[in-house]
Structure 1
Amino acid sequence: MNTAGIGGTDATGTSLRRLADALGTEMMWAGARDRPIGEVVIAEPGDVLADLPGALVLAVGARGADAITVVRSAAEAGAAAVAVRAAPGEDGALTPQVKAAAERAGIALMGIAASVRWDRAEADIRGVLERGAADGTSGHRGDLFSLAQTVATLTRGVVSIEDAAHRVLAYSDSGDEADELRRRSILGRTCPEPYLAHLRQWGVYRRARTGEEVVDVEELPEMGARRRMVIGINAAGRPLGTVWVQEGTRGLAGRTEEVMRGAARLAASQLVDHWFQGDPGARLPSRAGLAHGLLTGRFNSGALAAHLGIAPNASATVVAFDLREPESGDAVSQDARRAEAAEIISVHAASYRRSAMVAQACGQVYAMLPERAAAPSSEGLLTRWAEDLVSALRHHLRTPVQAVVAGTAPRLDDIPAVKLRGHHGLQVLARTPERQVATHTALTASLMVRDVLGLLDRHSEIRHPGLDVLARHDDAHGTEMCRSLLLYLDAFGDVGRVAKDLNVHPNTLRYRVRKAVALAGLDLDDPEHRIAAMLQLRLSREEPGTSPFPGG
């Protein structure tokens, strides 16, 4: 008998009535329908069932008298319902005897149609219970399923997460990629013993329990097992479980080991709760809220440091991400996309820095990477990491994601200020969508000009009157002297380049510049005249939907 927990076991679980309604006509019921379901248990003939309050027992392979025995045993163990194979015409498939046994025992009975495989039925049931968990009944496994799916997306593999007893806690969708071993493990919710024996013989678990080594496990065709990679989930020297990635037909992605390392670190905090029977449903949202508070400055950082497992004197680098999705008006879809991006960023960030935190704010996603003040990461290393991550996000989300390495906060209290730098940097970076990543250092000049233009915009009395005359002349005569002069100044007087950009003859450009200078009363030999002209001309170009920056 194998337990497959899918949520809490209290009275807040998904009811049998809701489960039956959601699964549709292939599921047939007898008996009470309003009892809550807290977990799913796989049972085979001869299994001993005990202490299963609120469970749904899937009687795999039980027919005839065996099915009646499982029904009785499940009821005695406190289970809420039993599912048996319903195949009319075959002995024991929702026969009057099985129904009568269920009614006498006071347990609900589910019939699984002959056309539905047990693994599909279990997956459908899990999906319904997960949706119920999203309504407020979730435990930590919902987060593990999400993590498994994210790892599968990033590695191109088939993922499962097991506890230290080799029980399958969560797994990704596999389609037709799952091998026979995977199917048996998911159906039974545990790895088959013959394969476990091979893993022990090869020393796989011994290696996975020490450090963060990703162990490559060769294929075993005679057991229906393709090549796999596994990493241990460990905390404080205690093995808590493993993350498995089975190779599919496309082969595994190049950064699979890095992704698995990040996933194992993220899973560790959830499995700590599982090990000590804590309340992960409260702990994980709490950690997410505290990380958001650290990012926005809502809480005292010193008080948060110990709770988040960060040294109180640590510095922290902030990297800001924007999906650059078009405004669709569908706020729910955009929230879902950002949540998916945050999950991918979390996996990569945890691989890069064990104590990494990820939070959403201002429609963007921010990674906070705490580090010892004595040995901060180089800006170049962080930029390369961000470039790899943005490439992964663009590939998987199909949006022109951009990122800004905002810099390092010397203290945790300084994170909100650095976050704001990242936010402003993303605003400036938006004018060059072909750039994936920039550092705040590289954007400093652009940010400085932007701030000066903002100041000028708020003080309309600060203007050069000659440039106002030039702008009015363009409006009245349909000429482009303002634009031509600005591009000429931006190009340090490179007439050939600007003329090509404007698609005019170089002599035409020279004429425009001379006339513009004369109308505005400028002296281009005077650096202050040039600065004033560049600033005001940029400001005058700004119209709704445009940028004051050339090329914006």
Structure 2
Amino acid sequence: MKELHETNPFKKPFGSLNELIDNITAVLGCPVTIEDANHRLLAYSSHEDGTDSARVGTIISQRVPEKVINRLWKEKVIPRLMQTETALRIPTIEEIGLRDRVAISIRKNQEVLGYIWAVDEQKKLSAEQLSLLKDAAGAATPLLLKLHLQRKRKKENYQDFFWQLLMGHYQSNEEIQQQFYELQITMPAQFAVLVFRFEQEITGKVEEQITYLIATSQKITNHFLIVMENELILIASPHPSQPDEKVFKEFISYFIMEMDNRFSIRGIKGSSGTIYHSFDRAETSYQQALKVLKLKEQFPEDLQKVFHYHQLGIFQYLDAILKEKKTSPYEHPAITKLENYDRLHNTNFLETLEVFVQHDSNAHEAARLLFVHVNTLNYRLKRIREIGDLDLKNAYEKMAVLVDLKIRRLQ
């Protein structure tokens, strides 16, 4: 075997990844797969009937299952693969159907292009064979570089189209369909625009981490991705297994959490516009997502758990109401009465009213948030009715007061 390593059976040009993987399997005598950096399956060898479910799932879906990726991150396997050029032995993890493996990263200098995985459950690979696996990774590098370049060119071709969609450049859906056809991109049946705002400018390295997380999450189907300074913009569809639009809310929370957990990037804010079935509404969905982010900055406490445009509720209309108030100034008189009373008597009736109305007139919840007993709150509400001449059983009047209080913050 040592003599075999010295001659390096992989020190020759390979026409394809399939040709390379056949050679690796012949030399090592075990099933092998090659993935790209985002764990999409590129090539695989045959295996016996008794192979593990992780390998079967990867071949069927043409990508490593999300639960496998998440567990490998949790076990620090993927971070170690990213940081070393040598092969790693991964012991069995029964919960995700993963039996004994050996893996190595395929890299160009410090950039990880992909991975080679070898199942050595039946017969453990020797130290010499592990060295051969490193030689095989070297042989895979030019093939993955070529694939990487092809994908980069394709991305450059569709980015102009992406921006034109977001800016409302196209006059009809037929014109948009023609562009999809010319770029050889499948037109999804439905989509929404998602926007993520980072605290710092997104570097090339961070963009790679973003692409990795989106590709491996398998929660949404991403069609377009673009980075502009500190903003990440996606056009995406719900994953076929989760067709409901609530998946976007879940994905935004997941993305923000995992960018912190895996890459220590914090302070990200995310939003989603409405799902549409016609791409001539892409600009609308984009503007909705931007509006959510803008309002989250203006009302961070009120909208802390809001990610989707339809979750904004009355906040959707604050700009229009503010515009109307500039031409016809008016504010519910109860606000001024309570404000003056609070100033003269050192009370906080106006705050109490806002918290009470904002939480669906739930006295127990409002009392908890104000750190007072519910009896104290009921006394305050009685005085608010008297001072402000306010009908707290009138939902429309209460909503008008709440809107006026929110408008104050915009002013």
**Counterpart position of 1:294:** 165
> 1:347-374: per-residue Cα shift (whole Å, max 9, x none)?
34445477621123584312212689x9
Contact persistence 2:197–2:231 (CA under 8 A): yes
Q: 2: distance between equivalents of 1:521 and 1:434?
A: 30
Give the AA of the match of 2:340: R
Distance 1:268 1:539, change over 3 A: farther
Q: 2: distance between equivalents of 1:354 and 1:490?
A: 36
**Counterpart position of 1:445:** 313
Contact persistence 1:356–1:369 (CA under 8 A): yes
Q: 1: distance between equivalents of 2:194 and 2:307?
A: 10
Q: Is 2:236 the partner of 1:369?
A: yes
Contact persistence 1:349–1:367 (CA under 8 A): no
Distance 1:437 1:164, change over 3 A: farther
Q: 2: distance between equivalents of 1:478 and 1:291?
A: 56
Q: Superposed, which structure 2 residues align to 1:440-519 within 5 Å?
A: 440-441=309-310, 443-448=311-316, 450-451=318-319, 454-455=322-323, 458-459=326-327, 461-504=329-372, 506=374, 508-519=376-387
Question: Aligned to 1:360, what secondary structure does the other structure show?
Answer: strand
Distance 1:522 1:446, change over 3 A: closer
Structure 2, unpaired ranges of 5+: 1-6, 8-12, 35-42, 47-58, 69-85, 90-100, 107-112, 119-141
Question: Aligned to 2:347, what secondary structure does the other structure show?
Answer: coil
Distance 1:456 1:246, change over 3 A: farther
Q: 1: distance between equivalents of 2:148 and 2:332?
A: 66
Q: Superposed, which structure 2 residues align to 1:96-107 within 5 Å?
A: none
> 1:75-116: per-residue Cα shift (whole Å, max 9, x none)?
xxxxxxxxxxxxxxxxxxxxxxxxxxxxxxxxxxxxxxxxxx
Question: Aligned to 2:329, what secondary structure does the other structure show?
Answer: coil
Q: Superposed, which structure 2 residues align to 1:399-418 within 5 Å?
A: 399-418=266-285
Contact persistence 1:428–1:446 (CA under 8 A): no
Higher mean displacement: 492-501 or 416-425: 492-501
Distance 1:454 1:230, change over 3 A: farther
Q: Superposed, which structure 2 residues align to 1:279-358 within 5 Å?
A: 284-298=155-169, 301-312=176-187, 314-323=189-198, 325=199, 334-337=200-203, 339-350=204-215, 352=218, 356-358=223-225
Question: Aligned to 2:316, what secondary structure does the other structure show?
Answer: helix
Contact persistence 2:221–2:238 (CA under 8 A): no
Q: 1: distance between equivalents of 2:314 and 2:337?
A: 27
Question: Aligned to 1:409, what secondary structure does the other structure show?
Answer: coil
After TM superposition, give the deviation of residue 399 of structure 1 in Å.
Answer: 0.5
Q: TM-score, normalised by structure 2?
A: 0.57
After TM superposition, give the deviation of residue 473 of structure 1 in Å.
Answer: 3.6
> 1:147-204: per-residue Cα shift (whole Å, max 9, x none)?
xxxxxxxxxxxxxxx98567xxxxxxxxxxxxxxxxxxxxxxxx9x996742576465
Contact persistence 1:342–1:358 (CA under 8 A): no
After TM superposition, give the deviation of residue 382 of structure 1 in Å.
Answer: 4.3
**Counterpart position of 2:125:** none
Contact persistence 2:188–2:237 (CA under 8 A): no
Distance 1:198 1:446, change over 3 A: farther
After TM superposition, give the deviation of residue 519 of structure 1 in Å.
Answer: 3.0
Q: 2: distance between equivalents of 1:434 and 1:467?
A: 23
Structure 1 residue aligned with 2:391, among 509, 523, 533?
A: 523
**Counterpart position of 1:150:** none
Distance 1:293 1:272, change over 3 A: farther
Q: 2: distance between equivalents of 1:389 and 1:439?
A: 15
Distance 1:519 1:450, change over 3 A: same
- Higher-Rg structure is 1
Q: TM-score, normalised by structure 1?
A: 0.45
Q: 2: distance between equivalents of 1:244 and 1:281?
A: 19
Distance 1:482 1:208, change over 3 A: farther
> 1:107-162: per-residue Cα shift (whole Å, max 9, x none)?
xxxxxxxxxxxxxxxxxxxxxxxxxxxxxxxxxxxxxxxxxxxxxxxxxxxxxxx9
Question: Aligned to 1:319, what secondary structure does the other structure show?
Answer: strand
Contact persistence 1:342–1:359 (CA under 8 A): no
Give the AA of the match of 2:194: V
Distance 1:196 1:436, change over 3 A: farther
Q: 1: distance between equivalents of 2:189 and 2:405?
A: 45
Contact persistence 1:387–1:437 (CA under 8 A): no
Q: Superposed, which structure 2 residues align to 1:28-427 within 5 Å?
A: 197-199=26-28, 202=31, 204=33, 207=44, 212=62, 226=89, 227-229=101-103, 243-244=114-115, 271=146, 284-298=155-169, 301-312=176-187, 314-323=189-198, 325=199, 334-337=200-203, 339-350=204-215, 352=218, 356-360=223-227, 363-369=230-236, 377-395=243-261, 396-427=263-294
Distance 1:310 1:433, change over 3 A: farther
Identity %: 15
Give the AA of the match of 1:391: M
> 1:363-411: per-residue Cα shift (whole Å, max 9, x none)?
4312212689x99932244444444333221221431334334332212
> 1:277-305: per-residue Cα shift (whole Å, max 9, x none)?
x8x87654343333233333345634531
Distance 1:459 1:531, change over 3 A: farther
Distance 1:543 1:414, change over 3 A: closer
Give the AA of the match of 1:426: L
Give the AA of the match of 1:306: Y
Contact persistence 1:321–1:364 (CA under 8 A): yes
After TM superposition, give the deviation of residue 428 of structure 1 in Å.
Answer: 4.1
Contact persistence 1:315–1:409 (CA under 8 A): yes
Question: Aligned to 2:202, what secondary structure does the other structure show?
Answer: helix
Q: Which structure's residues are more often helix, by fraction?
A: 2
Q: 2: distance between equivalents of 1:492 and 1:444?
A: 15
Question: Aligned to 2:307, what secondary structure does the other structure show?
Answer: strand
Question: Aligned to 1:358, what secondary structure does the other structure show?
Answer: strand
Question: Aligned to 2:191, what secondary structure does the other structure show?
Answer: strand
CA RMSD of aligned residues (A): 4.9
Q: 2: distance between equivalents of 1:245 and 1:318?
A: 35
Contact persistence 1:358–1:368 (CA under 8 A): yes
Structure 1, unpaired ranges of 5+: 1-43, 45-161, 167-190, 217-222, 233-241, 248-266, 326-333, 545-552
Q: 1: distance between equivalents of 2:177 and 2:195?
A: 23
